[in-house]
Amino acid sequence: MSRASRLLDLLQLLRRRRAPITGPALAEELDISIRTLYRDIATLKAQGADIQGEPGLGYVLRPGFTLPPLMFSVDEIEALVLGSRWVVVRGDARLASAAEDAVAKIRAVLPDDLRQSVDAATLTVPRAQGEPVVIDASVIRAAIRKEQRLVLTYRDQDGEGTTRTVWPLLIGFFDKVQVLAAWCELRQDYRAFRVDRIQSVEPKDERYPRRRAVLVKEWRAKQNLPATAGT
């Protein structure tokens, strides 16, 4: 195994652990000596990884590490580029711009041979023509992150308009539509709203009363029930 591959494996092990893991446990999993492990941890720290801990206590990787060169295989690069192209085609303008910026940042830190893999990625995403979205979907995404109530003006499949106060949970991306899953205060139940049928969206300056993680767990548990889209 090359040293670059070993450093990547060590980084991935630390990323998967939320609690500290001891040096001997890391060394055993990587099949390396404890001395080599300490050198590799020092190398990752020098490259910017915020690894906290010390021998005898264990190590944990704090979030926010900037990826150094040689951290992607060709398959991983193609997966990233394909994902970014999907977002460019299927997402809104702000997400599309963010996807392009992310690939540009990754490309900038890659060595020449891997950078050519980004430019010559062989996978593409066809455009799917759907109904236009008239609202700024980034407002919904921001409310999801903040666990913030939203007031929607919504048009159902029959063209009838209603105003709903909802607790937004997540947005699902399908071939031609985006769907907002949310708790609806009017219906006192989980509902799905097609984003292209939302006519206006206004965030309320207040959090909804339950934690999003709990609500999402409940929503997932109910997915075996018949879905009713925004009714």
Q: What is the dihedral of CA 196, 200, 202, 208, to 10 degrees?
A: -50
Tens-digit pLDDT profile for residues 81-90: 889 988 988 8
What pLDDT is stored for residue 130 in this prediction? 74
Q: For the ranges 100-104, 120-124, 205-209, 223-227, which has the lowest average pLDDT?
A: 223-227
DSSP single-letter state for residue 212: H
User: How do residues 46-70 score in pLDDT, each as one tens digit?
Assistant: 878 889 887 778 899 887 665 555 5
CATH fit for domain 3-61, picks 1.10.10.10, 3.30.565.10, 3.40.50.300, 2.60.40.790: 1.10.10.10
pLDDT at 227 over 50: no
Instruction: Give the three-class secondary structure for 86.
Output: helix
Please, are residues 80 and 106 in contact by the beta-carbon 8 Å criterion? yes
Domain ranges of the chain: 3-61, 74-119, 137-221
Residue 229: the pLDDT is: 47
Tokens of 3: 């040293």
d(Cα 24, Cα 179) in Å, to the nearest integer? 47
- Catalogue the E-assigned strands of the chain: 51-54, 58-61, 148-155, 161-173, 178-184, 189-194, 198-207
Dump the DSSP string for 40-81: HHHHHHHTT--EEEETTTEEEEPS-PPPPTT---HHHHHHHH
Kind of pairing between the strands at 189-194 and 198-207: unpaired
Residue 133: DSSP 8-state = P
Q: Convert the pLDDT of each residue in 108-134 to its tens digit.
A: 767 676 777 777 767 778 877 777 889
Specify the pLDDT at position 131. 78
Mean residue pLDDT across the chain? 85
pLDDT of residue 224: 67
Joined tokens for residue 66: 């900037």
Which residue reads 């720290």 in tokens? 45
Number of helices (H), then strands (E), in the chain? 8, 7
CATH architecture for the domain at 137-221: Roll (2.30)
Q: Quick one: pLDDT at residue 226? A: 45
pLDDT tens digit sequence for 159-204? 889 999 999 999 998 888 899 999 999 999 999 999 999 999 999 9
